[in-house]
Structure 1
């Protein structure tokens, strides 16, 4: 496991919505309330994405679109095309001429495909990702509200397979499509974070350093181990002073400060689990007793861990 593995561990497409748009321009589809993280791509044709807050951006065939924050947006052939369809959520959409209560249109064109015509030359695919907890929040904070990742050669096999699978109806088909989109998400994030202007999560770029990357992987694989700077330096074959300096330069914080912050991020999510207790969570993130853990959690997060338990509807243990 590494940093990106951990950030994406709970991120999975489930029942992704596939939307085949109008055959010929003008066409536009409005997405009223996308999930905190949504992925889109044009399998055929180009499109404009018009967020409610922000400037229109062009998405060409094969580009990957990422939106975060749940803000509404419209996808269309031009920035000024009025939407003909409004997607309310995964199960509800309506034609703007009918209004939300209208029943005049049937948008289902085939397996997992929706739109106003079955002969569409443009095919826009979206997937929504449920994002819950502090671990996922670290990923969301690293992304602008709207990201367009230009087509990359490594996208091509996944996009080709997605295009061939989108209209099929066989057992397990939705799982295949969802997993294809998950792989596209990982590829898109890697491509985006590699760009000079991107701001990846703390420690992400340090993964490329053979020694500091190894230390980060060790911290993420075994966060509960009682690590010391000397232990990590020995694992990476560096002196303690050189390791501490290099880690801080690449990651942005000293090794044990990074470990404490990551432990508290994990702990915040563990505290929200059913039947969680302060003592049990303390042990899972490397603290021998709940008192030391509670002090560390309050110092880093500004609230006591018992507060997280109460707001999650659980009884402190």
Structure 2
């Protein structure tokens, strides 16, 4: 798998949640801050204002996408001065504000009437992430990413939004299978666009630069494609097309840790996911992440996660 696909597949947990919400002005809705989640809002029709505690309000229009990778609290309203409905606290209100913490997949259409004013239709939802193993790629994202609608730009994102909105507004046979797949596609398109835009800027840094740097990207793809391979700095350097020392410096500068440090971190992250989702014997699981010895794997896992693999599997 490529790096971005792997990051989404391994660090996201559970099933994503979504709702198709129609508001009639005047309206205002608070969305609570929920650490360990990533939320999004897509304006399908009309316009509204996004308000957050430490930023100036700004207006959103049809086709605008807002992504909140760290589950930051925020408010949507038809006007900055409209009274706001507090965040919900129970499952009955999931589509409006507690969508981040629902225990099951939510796919719903909600109509909230005001006084018959202009209508705003919003596609809102969230992805649950594993807070203990959040990938550094996601940690570098800002609290809020705004992708304004522009004619002819981001056609893949627009297509995913249209398909998702259609499934939620008019559920049919197969909708329960289609919605999670479309939500994953939406997340990937948002992240792809963000990193592409950042990497096109003058002197990009961090992961935006790393994903646009062929030598480092080649090494990352090698690690993610085959984490069980007996990688060394020299072998990863060969994948990158650089000699050992320049590669190690370049990798550490852009990724924030040495190549073998990242390799070990990723192996332990992949192992945690396998323990949560598979009942494979520990020996088999250890081999999948590059350990020929079950004892060595268990020791490395305990150093990283603070508990033995078996205890982690039982807990999760």
TM-score (norm 1): 0.74
1:170 maps to which residue?
172
Distance 1:272 1:13 in 2: 14
Distance 2:58 2:133 in 1: 29
Change in Cα spacing, 1:236 to 1:312, as seen in structure 2 (3 Å) is closer
1:112 maps to which residue?
108
Change in Cα spacing, 1:48 to 1:261, as seen in structure 2 (3 Å) is same
Distance 2:241 2:32 in 1: 53
1:122 maps to which residue?
120
Q: Is the 8 A contact 1:37 1:140 kept in 2?
A: no
Q: Does 1:216 align with 2:220?
A: yes
Distance 1:165 1:29 in 2: 24
TM-score (norm 2): 0.74
* 5+ long unaligned stretches in structure 1: 96-110
Q: Is the 8 A contact 2:20 2:123 kept in 1?
A: yes
Q: Is the 8 A contact 1:68 1:146 kept in 2?
A: yes
2:188 maps to which residue?
186
Give RMSD over aligned pairs: 3.8
State the shift of 1:188 in Å.
1.4
2:263 maps to which residue?
259
Change in Cα spacing, 1:217 to 1:94, as seen in structure 2 (3 Å) is closer
Change in Cα spacing, 1:73 to 1:239, as seen in structure 2 (3 Å) is closer
Secondary structure of the residue aligned to 1:148 is strand
Distance 1:32 1:133 in 2: 17
1:1-317 equivalences in 2 (<5 Å) = 1-10=1-10, 11=12, 14=16, 16-22=18-24, 25-32=25-32, 36-51=37-52, 56-83=57-84, 87-88=88-89, 91-92=92-93, 112-117=108-113, 121-132=119-130, 134-136=132-134, 138=136, 140-151=138-149, 153-154=153-154, 155-196=157-198, 203=207, 205-272=209-276, 275=279, 279-297=283-301, 301=304, 304-306=306-308, 309-310=310-311, 313=314
Distance 2:94 2:301 in 1: 44
Distance 1:291 1:13 in 2: 33
Change in Cα spacing, 1:180 to 1:280, as seen in structure 2 (3 Å) is closer
